[in-house]
Structure 1
Amino acid sequence: MSEVEEFEALRPLLFSIAYRILGSVSEAEDAVQETWLRFDGSPTRPTSTKAFLSAVVTRISIDVLRSARVRREAYVGPWFPEPLLNDPYEDPQRSVELADSVSMAALLLLERLSPLERAVFLMREVFAFEFADVAEAVGRSEPACRQLLVRARRHMEAGRPRFEADRQERRELATRFFDALKNGDVGGLQDLLAADVQLVGDGGGKAPQLSKAVRGSESVARVLGKGFHLLFRVDATVEPQEINGQPGAIFRDRDGKVITVLALDVLDGQVQTIRSVTNPDKLGHLGPVADAWAIDREVRQARRRRTS
């Protein structure tokens, strides 16, 4: 097998590692490309190509994350990962663990960890690398990596998200949710929401967003029902998708451009959390992005016509 063939076979794994460390599709793709350049320029052939490439992409991602964390401190409003439609790394024996680890809730929980803790936790707990490979990747001794893992586990266990285990049940609930959303059925929405549900938005100061989180089934149902019903009145469409391994949808304008993405956390037959991503910088990999401010103005005009 040639070097190119070896690299392409491992590309899905490398992207999955980088995305979980960075929470950014574009930055993960850049990290994978940089990994190829270093692999292609290496004068020697590694004993294990998988271990070598995984170590390289991890080190690159750690460096990028350290600078990204500084930018996130100045971020306007809540920061969410870039929505991911499909995790390219498939491991049927560990599909549930992989899906849970890429959820928005899990990635936000990982933000509590230092870059090294995050990398060690992901490589060991999610991708099941041996400690020797983890140590090589992060440039620490095996005992040090074990200590990093202990600390990371402690943080993660304290807030580890739980999800509905049955994927079909999640899909069915999401279908009912988006049908009610499209119909402006506030009562139907409320029936699907947990009592303490919260709605949170990430616009990054570059698109309309909630001024603060909305909490409680009645308030969330009212905000969603009224807001999205008007969105559909200006010819928006909803495209159900799995977002970061959980139920969700992409909303597009009449020209097919992306307006926003909704991601749902589902547990015990109810929606627990709804996250909206409207920051255009985080939507470009899903297709052309709509002018969210223009859409907002159109929705406001539709509301005024409706009430006049």
Structure 2
Amino acid sequence: MDKTGEFEALRPLLFSIAYRILGSVSEAEDAVQESWLRFDTSSTRPVSAKAFLSATVTRIAIDVLRSARVRREEYAGPWLPEPLLDDPYEDPVRAAELADSVSMAALLLLERLSPLERSVFVLREVFAFGFDEVATAVGRSEAACRQLLVRARRHMHEGRPRFVADRQERHDLAEKFFGAMSRGDVDGLRNLLSADVQLVGDGGGKAPLLARAVAGAENVARLLATIRPLMTSTGVTFEPREVNGQPGALFRDRDGLVLRVMALDVLDGRVRVIRSVINPDKLGHLGPVADPWAVHREVREVRGRAR
């Protein structure tokens, strides 16, 4: 197989590694492309294309993450990962495990780790790389990588919920949630939410959004039930989709342009966190993006006429 064929066969794996390290689709795609350029221009043919490319994309992602962390500290409002509707790396045997590792909750936990800890954790825990491969990828000894993994596991374990819903339970609950939301059913929504549920939005200062997270089943249920009819009256539609391996939905304006993505965290039979990404800079990979301010103005006009 020539270099192009080897690279294309490994592209899904490389993207999946880079995305889990970076939490950004656009940055992961750039890291994969840069890996190709280095592979293509290498004067020698590596013994293992997988080892060479995996190490290369990891090092690039580490460098990008170090600079990205500074930008995220200055981010306007809550920062959420760029939503991923389809993980290109397919492994039927480990499908559920891989889906959980790319959830927004998991990616936000990974944000607590240093770039090296995060990379070691992703390579070893998610993709089962050997310690020799991990050490080569991050430029540290195997002993150092083992210590990095111990620290990463501890941080990840401390932040994970004790009880996680299975895939079918999440799907069933999401179907009820979006059904109640589409009807504006406050009681139906309230019964599906945990008492301490949170609604968190990421507008990045580039889209109208709540000033802060909304907490509590009553507050969240009433907000969702109020907003949904207003969105419907302005032609906003949504389609249930799997977002980062979890139940969610993709929202479009009346022209079919991408407006926002919503993802649900399900725990112990209830929706625990609702995450909404409306920053247009984080949605471009999903298709042409709507003008969130224009939709917001139309919603306000509809609300004003209804009073």
Tell me, yes or no, whether TM beats 0.5: yes
Residue 17 of structure 1 corresponds to 17
For 1:106-185, list aligned pairs within 5 A.
106-161=106-161, 163-165=164-166, 167-185=167-185
Residue 224 of structure 2 corresponds to 224
Rounded Cα–Cα distance in structure 1 between residues aligned with 2:99 and 2:177: 21
Residue 196 of structure 2 corresponds to 196
Deviation at 1:181, TM superposition (A): 1.1
Residue 53 of structure 2 corresponds to 53
The aligned amino acid for 2:62 is: I
For 1:18-97, list aligned pairs within 5 A.
18-97=18-97
Where 1:79 maps in the other structure, the secondary structure is coil
Question: Larger deviation: 19-28 or 297-306?
Answer: 297-306
Residue 238 of structure 2 corresponds to 238
Contact in 2 for aligned 1:181/1:229 (Cα 8 Å): no
Rounded Cα–Cα distance in structure 2 between residues aligned with 1:198 and 1:281: 23
Residue 211 of structure 2 corresponds to 211
Deviation at 1:163, TM superposition (A): 3.2
The aligned amino acid for 1:274 is: I
- Paired residues, what number? 306
Deviation at 1:109, TM superposition (A): 0.5
Deviation at 1:97, TM superposition (A): 1.5
Deviation at 1:86, TM superposition (A): 0.6
Rounded Cα–Cα distance in structure 2 between residues aligned with 1:224 and 1:212: 15
Question: Larger deviation: 172-181 or 96-105?
Answer: 172-181
Question: Larger deviation: 81-90 or 221-230?
Answer: 221-230
Contact in 2 for aligned 1:237/1:251 (Cα 8 Å): yes
The aligned amino acid for 2:126 is: V
Question: TM-score, normalized by length of structure 2?
Answer: 0.98
| Deviation string, structure 1 residues 74-119 (Cα, Å, up to 9, x no partner) | 1000000000001110112221221111000000000000000000
Rounded Cα–Cα distance in structure 2 between residues aligned with 1:192 and 1:64: 39
Rounded Cα–Cα distance in structure 1 between residues aligned with 2:117 and 2:168: 34
The aligned amino acid for 1:208 is: P
The aligned amino acid for 2:27 is: E
Rounded Cα–Cα distance in structure 1 between residues aligned with 2:233 and 2:266: 28
Question: TM-score, normalized by length of structure 1?
Answer: 0.97
Where 2:89 maps in the other structure, the secondary structure is coil
Rounded Cα–Cα distance in structure 1 between residues aligned with 2:267 and 2:206: 31
| Deviation string, structure 1 residues 224-252 (Cα, Å, up to 9, x no partner) | 11012211111111111000000000110
Contact in 2 for aligned 1:163/1:265 (Cα 8 Å): no
The aligned amino acid for 1:206 is: K
Rounded Cα–Cα distance in structure 2 between residues aligned with 1:7 and 1:163: 36
Give unpaired runs (5+ residues) of structure 2: none
| Deviation string, structure 1 residues 106-156 (Cα, Å, up to 9, x no partner) | 000000000000000000000000000000000000001111111111111
Percent identity over the alignment?
73
Residue 270 of structure 1 corresponds to 270
Deviation at 1:300, TM superposition (A): 1.1
RMSD: 1.0
| Deviation string, structure 1 residues 24-44 (Cα, Å, up to 9, x no partner) | 101100100000000001111
Give unpaired runs (5+ residues) of structure 1: none
The aligned amino acid for 1:43 is: S
Where 1:208 maps in the other structure, the secondary structure is coil
Rounded Cα–Cα distance in structure 2 between residues aligned with 1:292 and 1:39: 40
